[in-house]
Amino acid sequence: MARIGVFLCWCGENIARTVDVARVAELSAQIPGVRCALDYKYMCSDPGQSLLREKIVSERLDRVVVASCSPHMHLKTFRKAAERAGINPYLVEMANIREHCSWVHPDREQATLKAAELVRMSVEKVRHNEPLRPIKVPVTRRALVIGAGVAGIQAALDIADGGYEVVLVEREPSIGGKMAGLSETFPTLDCSQCILTPRMVEVGQHPRIKLYTFSEVEAVDGFIGNFTITIRNKARYVDIAKCTGCGECWNVCPLKKNPSEFDYGMGFRRAIYVPFPQAVPARPVIDNKVCAKLVRNGCGLCEKKCPTGAISFKDEDRLIEEKVGAIVVATGYKLYSIGKEQPSDKLHGYGEYGYGKYKDVIDSLQFERLLSASGPTSGEVRRPSDGAVPKNIVFVACVGSRDNAKGLSYCSKICCMYTAKHAMLYKHKVHDGQAHVFYMDIRSGGKGYDEFVRRAIEQDGARYYRSRVSKITQENGKLMVRGADTLSGLPVTVEADLVVLAAAMRPADGVQELARKLNVGYDEFGFLMESHPKLRPVETNTGGVFICGACHSPKDIPESVAQASAAASKVQLTFASEELTREPEIAGVNERMCAACFRCMGACPYHAIERAEIHARNGDLIKRTARVNPGLCMGCGTCVAVCPSKSMDIAGFTEQEIYSMVEALA
Amino acid sequence: MSEVFEPRIVAFVCNWCTYLGADLAGTTRLEYPANVRIVRLPCSGRIDFNLLIKAFEIGADAVLVSGCHPGDCHYNTGNYHARRRWMLFRPLLEVLGFDMRRLHFAWISAAESRKFQQTVKQVVEETRQLGPYQYPAPPTDSYGAGREPHKNHFDAAAAQQRAREMLEAKEVDVVIGYGSSGPVFIRRPEDVDQITCEETGLNLAAYLGRKEVRAMGRAAILTKPMDAGALVVLERESQIESGAVKTIPIGEPGKGDFSDLDALLALPPAERMAWWAGEFARCTRCYACRQVCPMCYCERCIADKNRPVVIDTSPTPVGNFAWHVTRAFHLAGRCVGCGACNHACPVGIDLRLLNMAVHRAVAEQFDFNVGADPKAESPIGCWAPADHEEFIR
């Protein structure tokens, strides 16, 4: 006979106000097998837990039911408490008489009777519970980092410097991400490339970093500690092992006028190109949409010129498998598309700003290239239409962001700062020019940030208008920017030579598909979801998958780097021991009863069920059976539902346990 | 003033969405009637139809099944599998005349505390209007006549000839045919005249899984027009190897239709339920229907299990109802319509009607032909994003 203890919590007044706890205790004590049923004001408090432990010892209890709040709140607490008194933690059950009873049923009589029934259900379940031991699974101490912008680079270097191998996957032909294209960075105005490129070189040369550029994650299989990743290495047409990066090939390429992705269309590149001079790897790639050889079997000059025979037009995508134990997602951002065309009908563009219509209305990343010494104008501010130096320049903040009407309600966070930086750098380069900034609010929280904005206004004379821009039109070669200054109450019109729109940050393309592969949640805007906004900011709800940088929310460089290091330390924590402990509440097969129909295999979301054979000692096949891989099973129980003979069962939620609960209601 | 009927509602909910939604309803103090008892399961994918039947057995007046919204499943796809099963389970309950207003499905997320509250309120209110659930009492005058047992005659000479050829050519080691009583296992060409010209409705594929039959070696079986499909299902379910069993077709294909089923479905649900109660009352739980079914090859049937007792093992009214629901639903996407169960039933219950209800749902909803392609994925054990869910709140 089981010796079950029932412990009823008052939760102060929360339960006791509507549930007659003493009466529930009386009723519970009458259930066969219940040795003691007592109530206490706060079961989860130290004295409450001591009471539990004392009673376990004095009444020689072997199973425990705590009737209090939701098991999501305190099941772990009470399991630990019972464990300290020598009971297997899985022989503890809870009855949720707070969230599901006292808080929702004001009638004292009804609530009390319901609470008694909930206790009885849990008593009947715990009677059949079996002791379980946590499962140990080996860990592959190797990490995958997806995305090699500043966050991915930081995470990869931290993990690799910590002594573990890293597989770094980057979609573009070079690592570096958005930061590689920036001019100077706020609030210190140090050159972006000067900070980043040494880190990029470090990645390229690190003995423990395996770099896959021009590659994407095709498939993800497995679970924390044991992921199998399929990587699609896209056809580059250049063997980067043979290539020395000498440049003979791109110097002979006749197709010169292809808009450069790295310059956001502000400059040009050839059909075979290195995205930017400091690229890592500094190896070219052939654009198969424009290359004359690949499109119409013409040209082929580069192949003839290449001294090492590194170019092959027969190159194809390759699928590569890598085994890792943890994953860091650092896929970054893209800018909100400003024009009328939008990727989804939830979003709306700003047709009235003339982006895409007027050459001299550009976005903030394009302006970064105009400011950059490595950019198409070698750092001189010259406007795209005619190359003239703009004397009046307008910056518009919050383009897309904080605008429910356009579909993005969030603040893009970094635009206030980089807009101030843009105004400042412009003034440094065009001394007789005037910068005008249209803003909604100035959000400059951060170390040295507000001082930085003040400097842009006070020292560099940027004119700030608290105003939304209603329309941008072109009149007599000037861009007329119209708005209303809400501080002075007067309409503002600025005749501008160049307009820079601070477009909102949005998650990079394809991140939702990736999130589904990784089983990571994302919000309505497509930003990946953290496990807890305060306490688990870089974890996701999938074990072993961490996030950092702008794939999570708009972020500046310091924040992205800090998060990347946090994610890297979480990865190293995962790798701290050779084995991981997992919850034992997973499926198992009664192999003697299994009829080997394998319907469970089709139903398993994790491909955790495999076909197995049982052989006699002499090797004869006795029977076939399904078998669960305890490393892969997550314990959903879909297999149990489709198993006709219920040869499959879930530990901790067995058929016997569930039916006992239902029958307790009879 | 008459007393208000307080229905008992059992809710089977998943741990990650609906249970948390109910928690949030508590945290935000959203009041709802105290009639509901929540059973927490890992995932809606775990919620088995037998649990629902059991809940009604123990006195529930309505059952609520709830899990995460499509796309939100903590286990990726458990809720899709659940939805697929309910799509097939509901047509079965319908043909049984079960009052579908007592069975509720809802997607309720962890954030939808208000939806949880409203759903419980609605279910309680609707059930209050319906009154208590009661399995109809079997009729007291007569349990009904049942259908006539039937026997078919066919040309045995051709089958005997083919069997002789196969055995002589050593294509097979044994030919399973119809003998004067039950099956005969012919292993020598000179014994083929033991194959008689009368078949009793058996599907001989039912014998293939038996150990002693397997030990006889490569087999050929006589197959009536619908029987051979069973071999396809057995291959799909890894019970036999592809092409391992030869067939000797007999008889002319009849034309199957759903007219009997439609006639039954034309009755009001309560009358259907009452009619079935009479039919099931005759059932002695001899399990002949199970023994003759080529698809019932489990090592131990769920009906024989007693830890826990999923289906009442004695021929009680509710136990018989649970058994026949289980038998028919376990055949979803698997029944080939050979009718062996019907022929075997000594008390003449028209079991085919139940099989047909599920069979039609499979064919119509998933365009799935059970006996066609052994490589085709069974409609249970897979799912599609487009699976309909108008029955889910």
Q: Where are the domains of chain A?
A: 4-128, 142-234+317-332+509-574, 248-305, 336-506, 587-650
Chain B residues with CB under 8 Å of A101 CB are: 26, 34
Is residue A187 reached through a cis peptide bond, with omega within 30 degrees of 0 on the bond before it? yes
* B74 in reach of chain A (CB within 8 A): yes
Terminus-to-terminus CA distance in chain B, angstroms? 34
For A299, list phi and psi in degrees, rounded to 5: 35, -110
Q: What are phi and psi of B314, to 5 degrees?
A: -90, 160
Q: Which of A14, A520, A597, A624 to mutate to test the interface with B (most CBs of B within 10 A)?
A: A597
Q: What does the mean pLDDT of chain A come to?
A: 94
Tell me whether the CATH fold assigned to A142-234+317-332+509-574 matches the one assigned to A587-650.
no
Give the position of tokens 């969230």: A99
Helix, strand, coil shares of chain B as percentages rounded to 5? 40, 10, 45
CA A498 vs. chain centroid, Å, equals 36
Say if residue B239 is in the same domain as residue B206.
yes
Regarding whether B126 and B164 lie in a shared domain, the answer is: no
**Tokens 């903590």 map to which residue?**
B74
Asked if A529 reaches chain B (Cβ–Cβ under 8 Å), the answer is no
Write the single-letter amino acid at A539: E
Do B382 and A642 make contact, defined as CB atoms within 8 angstroms?
Answer: no
CATH of domain A142-234+317-332+509-574: 3.50.50.60
Collapsed DSSP state (helix, strand, coil) of residue B34:
coil
Between CA A187 and CA A452 the distance in angstroms is 6
Residues 601-620 of A with CB under 8 A from B: 601-603, 605-606, 611
The CATH number for B52's domain is 3.40.50.960
Q: Based on the number of CB atoms within 10 Å of its own CB, is A39 exposed (0-12), middle (13-18) or buried (19 or more)?
A: buried
Place of tokens 């007693």: B306
**Contact list, B377 vs chain A (CB under 8 Å):** 602
Tokens of A573: 């924590």
Let me know whether B243 and B298 are in one domain: no
Query: What is the CA angle A587-A593-A599, rounded to 5?
Result: 60
Q: In terms of CA atoms, which chain B residue is nearest residue A651?
A: B42
Instruction: Give the closest-approach CA distance of A71 to chain B in angstroms.
Output: 10
Same domain for B169 and B114: no
The answer to whether B197 faces chain A, any CB pair under 8 Å, is no
The minimum CA-CA distance between B161 and chain A, rounded to whole Å, is 35
Residues B342 and B290 in one domain: yes
Spans in chain A with pLDDT lower than 70: none
Same-domain pairing of B106 and B202: no
Q: How many CB atoms lie within 10 A of CB B3?
A: 5
Q: Which CATH class is domain A587-650?
A: alpha beta
Q: A336-506 domain in CATH 3.50.50.60?
A: yes
- Name the 3-class secondary structure at A344: coil
- CA dist B320 and B284 (Å) reads 8
Q: Is B239 touching A (CB cutoff 8 A)?
A: yes
* DSSP type of residue B135: P
> Which DSSP helix (H) or strand (E) runs through A215?
strand A215-223
Q: Could you tell me the CA-to-CA distances from A541 to A48, A517, A631, B354 in Å, in that order?
A: 31, 13, 17, 43
Phi, psi angle pair for A453, to nearest 5°: -65, -40
How many Å lie between the alpha carbon of B289 and the closest alpha carbon of chain A? 16
Model ipTM over 0.90: yes
SS3 B94: helix
How many Å apart are CA A436 and CA B109, to the nearest integer? Answer: 47
* pLDDT, position A139: 93
Q: Are B310 and A656 in contact (CB < 8 Å)? A: no
Best mutation target, A522, A636, A643, A665, to test chain B (most B CBs within 10 A):
A636
Q: Before B70, cis peptide (omega within 30)?
A: no
Same domain, residue pair B156 and B206: yes
Do B48 and B115 have their domain in common?
A: yes
Q: Phi and psi (nearest 5°) for A580? A: -110, 150
User: Treating both helix axes as pointing N-terminal to C-terminal, what angle do A71-84 and B18-27 enclose, rounded to 10 degrees?
Assistant: 100
Nearest to B237 among A114, A597, A605 (CB): A597
DSSP per position, B250-288: -S------SHHHHHHHTS-HHHHHHHHHHHHHH-----H
Give chain B positions within 8 Å (CB) of A110. 34
HSE (CB half, 13 Å, CA atoms) of B269? 11
Tell if the CB–CB gap between A605 and B34 is shorter than 8 Å: no
Q: Measured between beta carbons, which residues in chain A are less than 8 angstroms from residue B302? A: 644-646
User: Rounded to an integer, what distance in angstroms lies between the CA atom of residue A194 and that of residue A176?
Assistant: 12
Q: How far is CA B48 from the centre of its chain?
A: 12
Inter-chain CB proximity B81 and A637 less than 8 Å: no
Q: Where are the beta strands (DSSP E) in A440-477?
A: 463-466, 469-475
Q: Show residues of chain B in contact with A644, CB under 8 Å.
A: 298, 302, 330
Token pair 């029977």 in the structure block, residue: A623
Asked if A641 lies within 8 A of B47 by C-beta distance, the reply is yes
What is A54-107 written as a DSSP string?
HHHHHTT-SEEEEEES-HHHHHHHHHHHHHHTT--GGGEEEEE-IIIIITT---
Sequence-distant (≥ 6) Cβ neighbours of residue A421 within 8 angstroms: A184, A185, A186, A187, A189, A452, A456
Question: Domain check: are B14 and B117 in the same one?
Answer: yes
A597 lies within 8 A of chain B by CB: yes
Is beta strand A498-503 parallel, antiparallel or unpaired with respect to A361-363?
parallel
Q: Tell me the Ramachandran region of residue B133: left when phi exceeds 0, alpha when psi lies from -120 to 50, beta otherwise.
A: beta
* Subunit contact B54:A659, Cβ cutoff 8 A: yes
Q: Which domain holds residue B54?
A: 9-130
Please name the residues in contact with A68: beta carbons below 8 A apart, sequence gap of 6 or more.
A7, A8, A9, A11, A15, A43, A44, A74, A94, A95, A96, A97, A98
Tokens linked to A372: 């950059």
Number of residues that this document lists for chain B: 393
Chain B, nearest residue to A659 by Cα: B308
Contact A602 B32 (CB under 8 A): no
B143 within some domain: no
Is the Cβ–Cβ distance between A217 and A169 less than 8 Å?
yes
State whether the Cα torsion A87-A90-A91-A95 is positive or negative.
positive
B377 to chain A, any CB pair closer than 8 A? The answer is: yes
The predicted-structure confidence for A44-102, as pLDDT tens digits, reads as follows: 999 999 999 999 999 999 999 999 999 999 999 999 999 999 999 999 999 999 999 99
List all residues 6 or more positions away from A589 whose beta carbon is below 8 Å from its beta carbon.
A625, A626, A627, A628, A647, A648
A661: nearest CA partner in chain B: B39
Q: Are strands A392-399 and A434-439 parallel, antiparallel or unpaired?
A: parallel
B29 interface with A at CB cutoff 8 Å: yes
Rounded Cα distance between A457 and A437, Å, is 10
B75 contacts A658? CB cut-off 8 A: no
Task: Establish if B384 belongs to a structural domain.
Answer: no
pLDDT (0 to 100) of residue A549: 97
Calpha distance B115→B107 (Å, rounded): 9
- What is the CATH number assigned to the segment(s) A4-128? 3.40.50
How many C-beta neighbours within 10 Å does residue B129 have? 9
B121 and B35 in one domain?
A: yes
Q: Answer yes or no: are the C-beta atoms of A211 and A160 closer than 8 Å.
A: no
Q: Is residue B301 part of a domain?
A: yes
Per-residue three-class SS string for B54-91: HHHHCCCCEEEEEECCCCCCCCCCHHHHHHHHHHHHHH
Asked whether residue B238 falls in the same domain as residue B285, the answer is no
pLDDT of chain B, 393 residues: tens digit per residue: 457 899 999 999 999 999 999 999 999 999 999 999 999 999 999 999 999 999 999 999 999 999 999 878 888 789 999 999 999 999 999 999 999 999 999 999 988 999 999 999 999 999 999 999 999 988 888 888 777 766 677 778 889 999 999 999 999 999 999 988 789 999 999 999 899 877 778 899 999 988 899 999 999 999 988 889 999 999 999 999 988 999 999 887 776 678 889 999 999 999 999 999 999 999 999 999 999 999 999 989 999 988 899 999 889 999 999 999 999 999 999 999 888 998 889 999 999 999 999 999 999 999 888 888 888 888 888 888 888 888 998
Partner A contacted by B300 (CB < 8 A) = yes
Partner residue opposite A593 with nearest CB, options B45, B59, B299: B299
- Confirm whether B142 is domain-assigned: no
User: Which tokens is A460 given?
Assistant: 């560099």
Count up the domains in chain B and report the number.
3
CA dihedral B220, B222, B228, B230 (to 10 degrees): -80
B270 part of a folded domain: no
Tell me the chain B residues in contact with residue A118 when contact means C-beta distances shorter than 8 Å. 37
